A and B are shown apart, each in its own frame.
Chain A
Amino acid sequence: MAVSNATPGLVTTEKQEPLYLNENVRAFALFMLSLGLFLLFWEFGARAGWFVQGVPTASETIKEFWWWVSNPFFDNGPNDLGIGWNLLISLRRVAIGYILASLVAVPLGILIGISPVAYKAFNPYVQLLKPVSPLAWLPLGLYILRDSEQTGVFIIFISSIWPTLINTAFGVASVDKDYLDVANTLGASRLRTIIKVIIPAALPNIVSGLRISMGIAWLVIVAAEMLLGTGLGYFIWNEWNNLSIANILVAIFIIGLVGLLLDSLFAALEKFVAFGRNS
């Protein structure tokens, strides 16, 4: 009897915590609260003329946003193009430039990472070119390629190559020596070691390099397109010429949203290749 009396007492100590104490619930509530306060401040501030002249109210901007996303695909010439088309144009440029960059950066990174001599020999190039602003390549691209479309792709290529290259080379060069010892004691050939051990071991580094590169490509495309025509960057520039601040805000929100989606895609991929490492 005594034992059966003790059990309910034990159960009560493991009571489910109330919903309002859950960390995620509280974070979400705080997020919604801050968002509401921000929108209210914006709405009333714009109506009361606290900001510079011509700032749209929050409700106007949300209405514009709704209009743009409910009619994404219309085409009345290059200066009046639906946001969906502009987004697809930007994504296409990013995809081509980024995939080309990855196809160069990953194999080159593996080669550089495997050989300490190559690592030391090519490091100066990488270190010198990495900090150069992508837009500095724009005139050079236009001069060489004589084509704005190709120049856009070229700029994405040149700016998204470095993080992948550096991370791949680093990942390959710093593969745990134990894995290599295992392959060596088994008498694995160089090629088999590279394919079966070095590349999978470096994969988390390679994917995080690809993730950083994707982030940079998405940053750069908007800036590059301001000077190119068509795409989200050009959309912003065009709306600036129309002095339509609300549309600029809509575009900024969409660029942020797409960037977030792309990044979470790579975050999921990173998790997939980690297998319990660095987590």
Chain B
Amino acid sequence: MRTAPVNSVASIDQPSAASHLSIRNVTKVFPGKKGMFNKLSGKTKRDFVAVQDISLDIEPNTFVTIIGPSGCGKSTLLNMIAGLSPISGGEILLNGMPITGPGPDRGMVFQNYALMPWMTVEENLRFAVETVDLKISPKRRDRIIKEHIQLVGLTGAERKHPHELSGGMRQRVGIARALAINPQILLMDEPFGALDALTRGFLQDEVERIWEQERKTVIMITHSIEEALLLSDRIVMMTRGPAARVDEILEVPFPRPRNRETIEQHPAYHDLKAEMESHLFRETRAVEAARMGG
């Protein structure tokens, strides 16, 4: 079992490499309700510490998966990286620059696809490309759109609206849109969570294929152990919330390109899987125990 210790800084030798993401002692507190007025109306609520003192370094061109029990603050962490949620303490550095808000250097894939229903597939991508570069030439713009629709295998569906597509096809559009702006980092928030098992498998293979092609830095949140093992180079396991921390970071040694049959043959596969299962099982049990107690 190759495991890195908690909060390891794995990339001291290349601190300023391209698209290097460094999370340093990040804490997220959702403020409660305080003050006279709320006290009088009996609506006081204590501050909620979602994640506490998380440090993590993500090297360029790696696929990192964050896994943990429900409600452990995985999405909170991802939203802070995306700049959608302010950071309460610590800092997140992208190429040495602190993240202060959202930006097109980070592409986001949403669990519920978040496609604009009134735009066709093509228009959804065009909106992204044009928003990022308002002065882009129509020729270049159309080439980028065409390439990315091709990349996710949706050629022929350019003029369709999202409600005419299946869930899997919609998420392909979501991935194409995130990649079309050529971000340094791709953030995926449980991208296959809303899909049925079969479509999920298809899309995982697709993401593996695209990743081989693009080799972008990817941070993905998931609940699925198999998904994490198939896709990632490193798996970050988080403890239960509140005040969730990074418990352990697993290195996934399988050679690429991968497919789900061959990785199961790898000697490390079952140990890694068992390790993750016991971790998730332990944390989930603790969450349930805390619920019953409180």
A contact residues vs B (CB 8 Å cutoff): 176, 178-179, 181-188, 192, 196-197, 200-201, 203, 273, 275-277
Report which of A184, A196, A203, A276 forms a contact with B127, defined as CB distance below 8 A: A196
Residue of B nearest to A200 (CB): B118
| Contacting pair A181 B103 (CB below 8 A) | no
Contact A185 B161 (CB under 8 A): no
4 tightest CB-CB pairs across the interface, nearest first? A276-B163, A178-B114, A186-B131, A275-B117
Contacting pair B104 A187 (CB below 8 A): yes
B102 touches A (CB below 8 Å): yes
User: Is B164's CB under 8 angstroms from A181's CB?
Assistant: no
* Residue B132 is within 8 A (CB to CB) of chain A in the complex: yes
Q: B108 to A185, Cβ gap below 8 A?
A: yes
Known A186-B132, A200-B116, A275-B118; contact A181-B84, beta-carbon cutoff 8 A: yes
Known: A276-B161, A276-B162, A276-B164. A185 touches B106 (CB 8 A): yes
Report if A182-B117 is in contact (Cβ < 8 Å); known contacts: A187-B103, A276-B163: no
CB distance from A207 to the nearest CB of B (A): 12
Q: Is B128 an interface residue (CB 8 A)?
A: yes
Contact between B108 and A181, CB atoms less than 8 A apart: yes
**How far is it, in angstroms, between the C-alpha of A182 and the C-alpha of B83 when the chains are bound?**
12
- Residues of chain B whose beta carbon lies under 8 Å from any beta carbon of chain A: 82-84, 101-104, 106-108, 110, 112, 114, 116-118, 127-128, 131-132, 161-164, 181
Given A196-B127, A275-B161, A275-B163, verify A186-B104 contact (CB < 8 Å).
yes
A188 nearest CB neighbor, chain B only: B131
Chain A residues, Cβ within 8 Å of B112: 178
- Residue of chain A at shortest CB distance from B110: A178
Alpha-carbon distance A187/B130, docked complex (angstroms): 11
Complex formed: what's the CA distance from A196 to B119 in Å?
A: 10
Residues of chain B contacted by A176 (CB below 8 angstroms) = 114
A201 to B116 CA separation, bound complex (whole angstroms): 8
Indicate if the CB atoms of A185 and B83 lie closer than 8 Å: yes
